[in-house]
Chain A
């Protein structure tokens, strides 16, 4: 070993020109975040700091927050649910990630893709489907009470929230953990085996710690997402959590109550804090796979019994996490499904009903979600690069600013966009806020943290010496980024894109306010429209199924690309 005293730490390479370029990039991202996240959000949330009636600045609302039992209880409940969900999401994600990346496992690609599907939960219909399966009088409980005269309260109270959120959000951990596991140099594992470590101890002591950046990225996303999710608690009729409290207050008609915005501020602050904590945990954990061009973990063959057990486990987990979608599928073909384990009869009429209209929704959805995803990976990668590879002052604030978007409730952002951009007129007097591109920006901003975390983890795992070698051979940092770093980040960037794309495709809360006409409406809006009447339930479910299938197809395509880039990078065998 030679004497490198933290090469990247004392690396201050540099001309003024480079730093100017970095500064320009940093400033333009800062401007983007200011204009499309901070300003719209602030234009709504500033109410939290004003006195009702007079509008004078005050902090008394935060004092009230701390003194109101309901809010304090909600805060603790949210923290508890967030932490427990992370735990259970790990229990679900870990076996899938390890089995598919460390073992020769037929259908690993399929599992990686299916394991991602739970993130794509169409609004409203997804909730109904879950109720039909796991609710008090859902399929499972009806069968259980028939056979055994017991009911399991899957969907009752905080534990119900934890159950549903774990099923819904574990893919964040799965995706990021898998990406990390793939990037670990096999020599690390081999070294441990050589020193007598194997099996579970090897996993626990070497492999998982090395996968920590990806795990932390995923776990912090899960925590923050659960923390900010309002759909699930509302579905389960749990109101004493922070996000539903904020939502209920912000969206009540004609109520000028600052407390909703106070909660929103608390949510943002805690979410950013959580992300900062995750960053702190992985700081100094420089797990870059430097040498020898990666190669990934060695995939081990399983013995027969192991294979059987592994498949049984994977099947069980997949059945569990995909049950909402199975329910959705049933719902979309059901004539009537009410208080019975399965629908009364099946029909394709719902599909026929939505078919004529869905083409437009599908087109809009793909357009918005892919543009949004694209914006996310560009901005996300740029932020990750600035934070990890430059000494730009305040660069961490870009990270935090982008992360804060995760915690801004969708309706707040939607109102903020109207407030901030409606009075910005284009030539011809058309308000800026009425353009469909604003929907794209809103979904992009809401999903930016996903892409950012994925890019961040990917970049963290690329050794700086690979870039230095390029610069040494005459490539400017920009060119080194394009020719060396970006190609090596492809897997992570694609993972970020898929996550952003898929979740943006079913985004509703912000779009509901920003959709200006039916011709601009995405699928989620179509589902909402159908789900407003009893007769529209099947049609809404059919549209939901269409949304899931399309997003899955796109995700599968991206997964293929990831796998291909991995084989290109990695091992020849």
Chain B
């Protein structure tokens, strides 16, 4: 029944006349972007196409996906416009996006090493953003925090309880960042690095925007954020600074035409507009500040504007395998939640003890304590599943509901959480023992 509906929708989408009519009327767009982003585009688009009006419906990414899904039977939405690539992947998998062949040419395939467009033509990147660290200067001064430069700086004792990140299960872009670290460093080293930062976390927020909000408000010192959040905060006057680490991650912002759009001509026109030189230039506005995917646009950018096509920091970004990411998407999110988000108290207690023991050791060395401390660090870094297991059919089946009976998601979660709790308790006792020896 459901499959039939998807097939029908696809057939309709593909079978529709390919020639574009002149756009007119109302173009309805569902977006997670803020008014600061959508308003300039609305103005520019309506100016470029007189007689067309852009109806913007602001929803958070989850609500937008649910909305398109639930209203498919009489779709009233033309476009989906958001950052998180995983949201587009979900829509694509459900046949809710229309395949479209871009008319505009001459745009690069990749920004950094990340492919800009979906290979099947279901959605298109129109802007890029880099991940980095944003901190509140007043907060840093009051708490004597140094300026962070690399991801690993955030694992330093001085940053304990001062860092915030969005949960990767809640933020598609954060998920990309975590996945990038895991692919770049390898599974075990990657998780070790993530948990070392994790032990210093003040907060794991459930919305991407909460991280810059918390930094702006001065409730946390440093946030792991997408660059434009920092740029627009600076533009709004908040005393915040931002830095790309030497290995940053590039995340695209995407647009896709919803399957069976009520105003197909208008929808196509908007996609083309977004990628046109005029549309790309809008990205340079201070309230938006995203990185255009058209290299030519950077000519018009202010002097200090980062250019991923030239900047060495972006070029360094390790090659990213989308397939690898896809196979273990749920496992990585759930691992993060079960071992960090929901075990934050235990993780922080162990991390704090390690920091204290490390400081004590620096004053008075003790080989046995050093060994214990290493064991404590290893205990924290340990993962309940290997890389291969995380991508295995059994684990994937638990999340998607496989035909053959495997462990249920709840069972896996309980197992992983129990593992983490146990490990953190071990780490805590070892670190405390190390501290005792060091004194």
Residue ranges of A at the interface with B (Cβ–Cβ < 8 Å): 51-54, 60-61, 64-65, 67-70, 128, 131-132, 135-138, 234, 237, 239-240, 244, 248, 251-257, 259, 335-340, 411, 414-415, 418-419, 422-423, 425, 429, 431, 433-434, 512-513, 515-518, 525, 528-537
**Does B401 reach chain A (CB closer than 8 Å)?**
yes
Cα–Cα distance between A536 and B33 once the two chains are bound (Å): 12
Question: When the two chains form their complex, are residues A135 and B219 in contact, meaning their CB atoms are under 8 A apart?
Answer: yes
Question: When the two chains form their complex, are residues B232 and A52 in contact, meaning their CB atoms are under 8 A apart?
Answer: no
Cα–Cα distance between A29 and B336 once the two chains are bound (Å): 46
**Does B217 reach chain A (CB closer than 8 Å)?**
yes
- Docked complex: B202-235 residues within 8 A CB-CB of A: 203-206, 209, 212-214, 216-219, 229, 232-233, 235
Residue ranges of B at the interface with A (Cβ–Cβ < 8 Å): 28, 32-37, 55-63, 65-67, 70-71, 73-74, 76, 84, 86-87, 89-90, 93, 136, 138-139, 142, 167, 169-170, 172, 203-206, 209, 212-214, 216-219, 229, 232-233, 235-240, 287, 330, 333, 338, 341-342, 397, 399-403, 408-411, 413-414, 417-418, 421
Cα–Cα distance between A525 and B60 once the two chains are bound (Å): 11
* Count of chain A to chain B residue pairs whose CB atoms are closer than 8 Å in the complex: 201
Cα–Cα distance between A415 and B59 once the two chains are bound (Å): 13
Question: When the two chains form their complex, are residues B238 and A336 in contact, meaning their CB atoms are under 8 A apart?
Answer: yes
Q: Given A256-B400, A336-B237, A339-B239, check contact A536 B61 (CB 8 Å).
A: no
Smallest CB gap from A433: residue in B: B71
List 9 A–B pairs whose Cβ atoms lie within 8 Å, in order of A's numbering: A52-B401, A128-B213, A239-B341, A248-B167, A252-B62, A253-B86, A254-B86, A517-B28, A536-B35
Q: Given A256-B400, A339-B239, check contact A532 B209 (CB 8 Å).
A: yes
Q: Given A234-B206, A257-B409, check contact A135 B217 (CB 8 Å).
A: yes
Smallest CB gap from B59: residue in A: A512
Question: When the two chains form their complex, are residues A338 and B70 in contact, meaning their CB atoms are under 8 A apart?
Answer: no
Cα–Cα distance between A251 and B64 once the two chains are bound (Å): 11
> Besides A65-B410, A239-B204, A254-B87, 6 other CB < 8 A contacts?
A67-B411, A69-B417, A69-B418, A135-B217, A422-B70, A425-B74
Task: For B216, list chain A residues within 8 Å (CB).
Answer: 338, 534, 537
Question: When the two chains form their complex, are residues A248 and B170 in contact, meaning their CB atoms are under 8 A apart?
Answer: yes
Cα–Cα distance between A255 and B175 once the two chains are bound (Å): 14
Question: When the two chains form their complex, are residues A68 and B342 in contact, meaning their CB atoms are under 8 A apart?
Answer: no
Q: Given A516-B57, A529-B34, check contact A415 B170 (CB 8 Å).
A: no
Q: Given A252-B170, A256-B400, A535-B232, check contact A515 B217 (CB 8 Å).
A: no
Question: When the two chains form their complex, are residues B410 and A61 in contact, meaning their CB atoms are under 8 A apart?
Answer: yes
Task: For A240, list chain B residues within 8 Å (CB).
Answer: 342
Task: For B62, list chain A residues within 8 Å (CB).
Answer: 251-253
Partner of B58, one of A61, A337, A429, A529: A529
Task: For B217, list chain A residues within 8 Å (CB).
Answer: 128, 131-132, 135, 137, 337-339
Cα–Cα distance between A414 and B400 once the two chains are bound (Å): 24
Task: For B59, list chain A residues within 8 Å (CB).
Answer: 512-513
Question: When the two chains form their complex, are residues A513 and B73 in contact, meaning their CB atoms are under 8 A apart?
Answer: no
Task: For A433, list chain B residues within 8 Å (CB).
Answer: 71
Question: When the two chains form their complex, are residues B37 and A418 in contact, meaning their CB atoms are under 8 A apart?
Answer: no
CB distance from A305 to the nearest CB of B (A): 42
Question: When the two chains form their complex, are residues A529 and B232 in contact, meaning their CB atoms are under 8 A apart?
Answer: no
Question: When the two chains form their complex, are residues B87 and A53 in contact, meaning their CB atoms are under 8 A apart?
Answer: no
Q: Given A53-B400, A422-B71, check contact A237 B410 (CB 8 Å).
A: no
Cα–Cα distance between A517 and B167 once the two chains are bound (Å): 30
Q: Given A237-B203, A536-B36, check contact A136 B57 (CB 8 Å).
A: no
CB distance from A519 to the nearest CB of B (A): 9
Task: For A64, list chain B residues within 8 Å (CB).
Answer: 408, 410-411, 414
Question: When the two chains form their complex, are residues B136 and A339 in contact, meaning their CB atoms are under 8 A apart?
Answer: yes
Taking each of A60, A422, A525, which has the highest tally of chain B beta carbons within 10 Å of its own beta carbon?
A422
Q: Given A255-B399, A535-B36, A536-B36, check contact A137 B219 (CB 8 Å).
A: yes
Q: Given A336-B238, A422-B73, A536-B34, check contact A525 B58 (CB 8 Å).
A: yes
Q: Given A68-B414, A340-B138, check contact A252 B169 (CB 8 Å).
A: yes
CB distance from A318 to the nearest CB of B (A): 25
CB distance from A433 to the nearest CB of B (A): 7
CB distance from B367 to the nearest CB of A (A): 37
Question: When the two chains form their complex, are residues B60 and A533 in contact, meaning their CB atoms are under 8 A apart?
Answer: no
CB distance from B277 to the nearest CB of A (A): 25
Partner of A533, one of B35, B55, B66: B35
Top 3 nearest A-B pairs by Cβ distance? A53-B401, A339-B218, A52-B401
Partner of A534, one of B63, B204, B213: B213
CB distance from A479 to the nearest CB of B (A): 45
Task: For B33, list chain A residues within 8 Å (CB).
Answer: 532
CB distance from B407 to the nearest CB of A (A): 10
Task: For B229, list chain A residues within 8 Å (CB).
Answer: 534
Task: For B57, list chain A residues within 8 Å (CB).
Answer: 515-518
CB distance from A239 to the nearest CB of B (A): 6
Smallest CB gap from B91: residue in A: A254
Task: For B86, list chain A residues within 8 Å (CB).
Answer: 253-254
Cα–Cα distance between A254 and B65 once the two chains are bound (Å): 8
Q: Given A255-B330, A422-B70, check contact A339 B142 (CB 8 Å).
A: yes
Partner of B237, one of A251, A335, A429, A528: A335
Task: For B36, list chain A residues within 8 Å (CB).
Answer: 532-533, 535-536
Question: When the two chains form their complex, are residues A516 and B219 in contact, meaning their CB atoms are under 8 A apart?
Answer: no
Q: Given A422-B74, A512-B60, A517-B55, check contact A254 B90 (CB 8 Å).
A: yes
Task: For A137, list chain B residues within 8 Å (CB).
Answer: 139, 142, 217-219
Taking each of A255, A339, A423, which has the highest tally of chain B beta carbons within 10 Å of its own beta carbon?
A339
Partner of A54, one of B60, B63, B401: B401
Task: For A70, list chain B residues within 8 Å (CB).
Answer: 338, 342, 413-414, 417
Question: When the two chains form their complex, are residues A535 and B235 in contact, meaning their CB atoms are under 8 A apart?
Answer: yes
Taking each of A64, A69, A529, which has the highest tally of chain B beta carbons within 10 Å of its own beta carbon?
A529
Question: When the two chains form their complex, are residues B402 and A53 in contact, meaning their CB atoms are under 8 A apart?
Answer: yes
Cα–Cα distance between A415 and B342 once the two chains are bound (Å): 26
Partner of B71, one of A251, A418, A529: A418
CB distance from A515 to the nearest CB of B (A): 7
Smallest CB gap from A513: residue in B: B63
CB distance from B201 to the nearest CB of A (A): 10
Cα–Cα distance between A227 and B44 once the two chains are bound (Å): 46
Question: When the two chains form their complex, are residues B74 and A431 in contact, meaning their CB atoms are under 8 A apart?
Answer: yes
Task: For B37, list chain A residues within 8 Å (CB).
Answer: 533
Q: Given A252-B169, A534-B212, A535-B287, check contact A336 B239 (CB 8 Å).
A: yes
Task: For A53, list chain B residues within 8 Å (CB).
Answer: 397, 400-403
Smallest CB gap from A415: residue in B: B66
Cα–Cα distance between A234 and B204 once the two chains are bound (Å): 10
Question: When the two chains form their complex, are residues A423 and B342 in contact, meaning their CB atoms are under 8 A apart?
Answer: no
Task: For A256, list chain B residues within 8 Å (CB).
Answer: 400-401
Q: Given A128-B217, A256-B401, A512-B60, check contact A415 B287 (CB 8 Å).
A: no
